[in-house]
A and B are shown apart, each in its own frame.
Chain A
């Protein structure tokens, strides 16, 4: 079983639209949406949820106002500016301390050192993950709660479940939609993968972000290919990006031209290759052929 992860560095380069098309073209595939804090793949693949699980990535502190003596130890020790002296009064104290659940990192230091045992420290629900049925195959996806932490752990959960599903059903490929950037969720989505496909765009920002994301795949020693999406918006920069990729030993997966059919397909909740023949759909088929060949020969 192989894992192909599609990432981009820069956001909005067309990563998810390309994943939706690859999902349609690939056979024997499990889909995994690892862009857990702005997941969009389900908007095209319209999954039917068959299993739903809550996700807890860590714990969170809560001060029981009735027990608080307002000594201020928690506020003194908290390194995350998560404790405020604006909690409700309790008969002995006019006001008590309160944990801001958004700022709380779940370290538990306040609870450990509270002399009154007034701080509850219990697992927090940070999101949900799902196993679904789609027209392209089974899909594992998730929703991180608003303003929640631990997106990396949720990404790892989605990947593990997707791999398990592939093994159970004898499917050969896990196709992963990653998130933008180079931080925690991206690292969690690429480590140990068979191949990374980097989708970029022909802008200076696209090139700059490609440099950083390519350094990341090199850092973790994962083979990577580059696809320049919307290449005809700036042919010169597209060529520059391909040169850069070549110098860095990244294989080219081809170019995809700019086509408003992509947005139209999104509005119709289809991938662009499903929608029919368009020049851009042909480009994506060629990208898939290049990627498939690379993945078949990958370790």
Chain B
């Protein structure tokens, strides 16, 4: 009887642990001019999860210092894109479970 109760308790704990949503963490960075090191404002920053992952696409903009921040990002792989209108200035894959802050240098023409 006790053994059965212990097994059921263990299973319930295991299921509860599995069902708990993955905790979201902040992710941010700075986009700056590679030559002058000054931040670049008004760029669109997009965090795109792999297709079928279920995570939302996060879209934000850089402030006057070139800083962007997403307050709640599910840890995992994302495609990070920085664009100015239709021009894509930066595109690379990043893992937000390992990197929480990223520095992105952009070169002038």
Verify that A and B bind, or say they do not: no
